[in-house]
Chain A
Amino acid sequence: MFQNSGLSLDQAPPISVVLRFFLGGSLWGVVAGLWLMLHGEEALDPAAPAALILTHLLTLGVMLSFMLGALFQMLPVLAGVSFRQPTLMAIRTQWPLYFGIVALIEAFSTAQKALYLLALLFLGAGLLPVASRMLARLYHLRNHSPSSRGMGFALYNLLLLFFVGAWLALLVGGWVSRGDLLALRQLHLGLGLFGWIGLLIVSVSFQVIEMFYVTPPYPKFWARRLPLGITGLLTLELVAALNFPSLLPWIESLVLLLLLIHGLLTLRRLSQRQRPLADATVWFWRTGMVSLVLAALLIVTGHLMPLPRPFQDLSYVLYASFALSVVFAMAYKIVPFLTWFHLNAQGYFTAPMMHEVIHPRYAMRHLAIHLTTLFTAIVAAFITPELWRVTGVLLALEFSWIALAIYKAWHLYLHVQATEERFDFGGMEAK
């Protein structure tokens, strides 16, 4: 019954498109962990280049990689948006992006102006074509789900984020003089952390929480209006950054309150699952949402009154924990599923089952490392700053852990393709 026509499955991209981004993101995570290990407490000081570098390793290297991989996979499935030659498109996105990250790190380290321009060129070449193409396709979509609408708004915020980042780089380099550096920096942070990372996770959650974990859906009004609400507020923040910088903390606090409510709604839904047992991905989602709620509370409090340094550090740690926990939850769902599904759809019925691609115990062990990393970071923030270096080691370990899982899944996929026989569906006849 299955025929040897290969897997086009309408529009789904080849598995390598997704896995290359996930693997790349994991390796940047290892670099981020090693950076924190080498620089310790300094990497948490917002005024230090080491902190700028750590932030961009995590946001550009890790998060952008995983999120682009997820978008390549989810846009065809959720919105029917697919691209011709997705592999070529992925390669043309990934390599300039990674060269751009290296150039940006060098620019932050050496403060050489030319390197900022080089970083902008590479990052723009990697990011702008893919983000604008995805956004254009979503813009012309007739029937939107809350997820596809949210992804569109998140991509819009990503483009704004890039242009504000470019403006900042030109301002720092002395090529332009207009603009308040601090206000633009705050706007850049808001667009990146809340408008891009936060909103994309929110958009994904609209679809996957209900689908993966059989929970009640999010309230319709919430799912339809939240992406617009967050993006509207961030656009207002853009206007405020140029004209009324004193309003920035207030606007950002409203965005954070929306994210906080979404975190609570998601936790509520996860508690309404019909299955009593929870696998590692459920716990990663729970960790992420608890981290989001606490981080939002801390950041909003920080906008109302000065926070002591340990609490500031804790807010960074918790927001990172929110984003990374969800990334791990998604990766442990997507990678085994794609490996198994692509092979089955191609007719490799002797292909390994999903739990054989990545065993649930392997994911649970990662969860243990992840929670240990989080705990160590909290202790480092409040008691022993020396533990930041240990946190770095643990961060590198957990990204190595997931990199190994992704590599093994990819290797297994290629091995089955190379060695196993395809079968005809109806009669189970070997071809």
Chain B
Amino acid sequence: MKRHFLDARKLEHPEPLERSIAILRELDEGAYLYMLHRKEPHPLLALAREHRLNYLSRQRGEEWHILITPNREIDLEPLLSSPPEKHTDR
């Protein structure tokens, strides 16, 4: 699975949402969004639910880890265990 990483921890509202939606628009079944956020992004998760995307939201320490993909077959939990190393140009 190709990972699109977005570190939104220091972005001002609503940039995290703006950027994550831009990434989601380009995702195919073989890719997923991995976002780090200082809060749980309720509007983004609601949007993912609305459009039946496969998503996972977990708090680890002070941060929220959000994974979203159009691929409904894949289990996102194992992907969560590998912390993001590379930042894409987002």
Which residues of A line the B interface, CB within 8 A? 1-3, 5, 7-10, 12, 77, 211-214, 274-275, 333, 337, 340-341, 344-345, 349, 353-354, 425-426, 428
Q: Determine the chain A residues whose CB is within 8 A of the CB of B29 once the complex forms.
A: 426
The answer to whether B12 and A77 have CB atoms under 8 Å apart is no
Q: Chain A residues with Cβ under 8 A from B25's Cβ?
A: 1, 349, 425, 428
Which of chain B's residues has its CB closest to A347's CB? B51
* Distance between Cα atoms of A395 and B18 in the complex (Å): 33
Closest to B53 in A: A1
Q: Which residues of A contact B12 (CB under 8 A)?
A: 212-214, 275
User: Which chain A residue lies CB-closest to B45?
Assistant: A10
Distance in angstroms from B16 CB to nearest chain A CB is: 10
**A3 pairs with B51, CB closer than 8 A:** yes
Residues in chain B near residue A428, CB distance under 8 A:
25
Does the CB pair A5–B51 fall under 8 Å?
yes
**A9:B14 contact, CB within 8 angstroms:** no
Query: Do the beta carbons of A7 and B50 come within 8 Å of each other?
Result: yes
Interface residue range, chain B: 20 to 34
CB distance from A6 to the nearest CB of B (A): 9
Chain B positions 36 through 56: 1 when the CB is less than 8 Å from some CB of chain A, otherwise 0: 001100110011011111000
Residue of B nearest to A6 (CB): B50
B75 within 8 A of A: no
B49 near A10: Cβ-Cβ < 8 Å: yes
Binding site secondary structure of chain A: loop
A425 and B51 in contact, given A12-B46, A274-B10, A275-B12 (Cβ under 8 angstroms): yes
CB distance from B5 to the nearest CB of A (A): 19
Knowing that A275-B12, A341-B17 are A-B contacts, what are 19 other residue pairs whose CB atoms are under 8 Å apart, sorted by A's residue number? A1-B24, A1-B25, A1-B70, A3-B52, A8-B50, A9-B43, A77-B43, A211-B13, A213-B12, A333-B13, A337-B14, A344-B47, A345-B47, A345-B50, A345-B51, A349-B25, A354-B14, A425-B24, A426-B70
Does B11 reach chain A (CB closer than 8 Å)?
Answer: yes
In residues 12-30 of chain B, which contact A (Cβ within 8 Å)?
12-14, 17-18, 21, 24-25, 27-29
Q: For the complex formed, measure the closest distance between the CB of B81 and the CB atoms of chain A, giving whole angstroms.
A: 25
Contacts of B14 in A (CB 8 A): 337, 340-341, 354
B67 to chain A, nearest CB (A): 15
CB distance from A9 to the nearest CB of B (A): 4
| Structural contact, A1 and B21, CB atoms closer than 8 A | no
